[in-house]
């Protein structure tokens, strides 16, 4: 595919390789700011010409990748509470950007971006964060290392991850999936019995399972996929609500109610899972016995999500209570739009309604990306629906936009 190369300056690339969520306002002021800015959301067109969708996807993807890479070494726009973690290439915040970026590279075959990813991975020595070897968040960067191993056949790209995964298989966690309030603290992580030794929260299903499937692909050893598949379904069966077609973020939300008395289903939490399912399906070997089960879950989740898209094209931060946070939220919307577009592009969602929902979601995303590629309206790091301002931006939000853009490049082809 012919495309305009990203013009990454030498300075930007140097800053990027030196890399390794609110403005400081009180919660009350955040709410006030969010409410006052909600009218800035622009109504989206009901439809977009196919040629326009492809060209817009190309422009959005290139500019978003370019802008985000140029910010490495200068992440002052990120709240101080999460800036250091955002600067760590091995941490999930940045790793989620690379998942979107590598998907974009697959769609465009951009050699310059591929070289950039290789240099980042080499600089990190293909290592995971070793303080929490079982933690799903710290497996997210493995997806990029394993992508490189498969794409370039570089054995050293997956060996450190293989060592960690082999250790986990030798000492599999023997804990339940119920998350107590104390367990959400990283300081409590090493306590015996903490459910975060497994995948007991929705975000984890984006961070870890695909990496285990990728490991089987690059090593030809089925034990990694077997573990990842078993743990995925343990978590999915536990967290998915058949009644609503949505995922609870974790067990603490099973009975939670929003300020308006509605069940609490977090937009981005559902986006994490819904974006992960297609990428896991793609890693399954031909004829894998769980494939139909993944597709069935995908369809149920798609139906639950499509029913909750707002008139402006975004999905609300609180899916069942759109009045909780009335502003746009782009990370959840990006992940969900990607997942739905994938379903249409792969012939799983074939009705006109699904196509209309995707185009409406994509049009909404384009309104949130500035001309220079900054992705706005991204809820900062959290675990539940929180206020969002137009100026809020984060790396995983850009990753979500890149995932969506990669599917819109081939929309209706």
Catalytic residues: 203
User: In the numeric block, which tokens belong to residue 393?
Assistant: 């931006």
Residue 315 Cα distances to 123, 172, 263, 351, angstroms: 37, 37, 16, 20
Residues in the chain, how many? Answer: 413
Give 46's strand partners. none
Q: How far apart are CA 20 and CA 134, in angstroms?
A: 22
Angle at the Cα of 51 (from 49 to 53), degrees rounded to 5?
Answer: 70
């Amino acid at each position: 595919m012919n495309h305009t190369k990203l013009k990454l300056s030498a300075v930007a690339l140097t800053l990027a390789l030196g890399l390794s969520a609110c403005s400081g306002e009180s919660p009350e002021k955040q709410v006030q700011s969010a409410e006052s800015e909600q009218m800035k959301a622009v109504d989206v067109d009901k439809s977009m010409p196919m040629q326009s969708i492809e060209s817009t996807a190309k422009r959005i993807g290139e500019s978003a990748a370019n802008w985000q890479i140029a910010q490495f070494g200068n992440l002052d726009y990120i709240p101080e509470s999460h800036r250091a973690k955002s600067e760590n290439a091995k941490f999930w915040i940045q790793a989620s950007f690379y998942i979107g970026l590598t998907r974009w590279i697959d769609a465009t075959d951009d050699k310059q971006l591929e070289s950039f990813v290789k240099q980042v991975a080499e600089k990190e020595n293909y290592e995971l964060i070793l303080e929490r070897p079982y933690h799903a968040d710290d497996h997210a960067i493995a997806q990029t290392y394993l992508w490189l191993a498969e794409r370039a056949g570089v054995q050293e790209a997956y060996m450190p991850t293989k060592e960690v995964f082999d250790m986990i298989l030798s000492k599999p966690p023997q804990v339940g999936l119920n998350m107590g309030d104390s367990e959400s603290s990283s300081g409590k992580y090493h306590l015996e019995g903490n459910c975060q030794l497994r995948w007991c929260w929705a975000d984890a299903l984006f961070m870890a399972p695909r990496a285990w499937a990728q490991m089987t692909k690059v090593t030809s050893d089925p034990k990694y996929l077997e573990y990842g598949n078993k743990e995925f379904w343990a978590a999915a069966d536990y967290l998915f609500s058949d009644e609503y077609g949505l995922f609870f973020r974790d067990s603490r939300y099973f009975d939670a109610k929003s300020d308006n008395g509605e069940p609490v289903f977090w937009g981005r939490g559902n986006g994490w899972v819904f974006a992960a399912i297609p990428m896991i399906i793609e890693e399954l070997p031909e004829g894998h016995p769980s494939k139909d089960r993944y597709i069935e879950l995908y369809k149920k989740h798609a139906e639950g999500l499509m029913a909750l898209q707002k008139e402006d094209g975004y999905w609300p931060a609180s899916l069942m209570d759109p009045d909780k946070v009335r502003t746009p939220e782009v990370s959840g919307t990006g992940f969900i739009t990607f997942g739905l577009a994938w379903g249409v592009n792969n012939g799983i969602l074939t009705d006109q309604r699904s196509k209309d929902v995707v185009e409406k979601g994509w049009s909404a995303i384009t309104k949130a990306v500035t001309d220079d590629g900054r992705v706005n309206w991204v809820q900062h790091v959290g675990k539940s629906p929180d206020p969002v301002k137009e100026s809020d931006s984060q790396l995983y939000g850009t990753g979500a936009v890149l995932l969506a853009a990669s599917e819109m490049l081939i929309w209706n082809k």
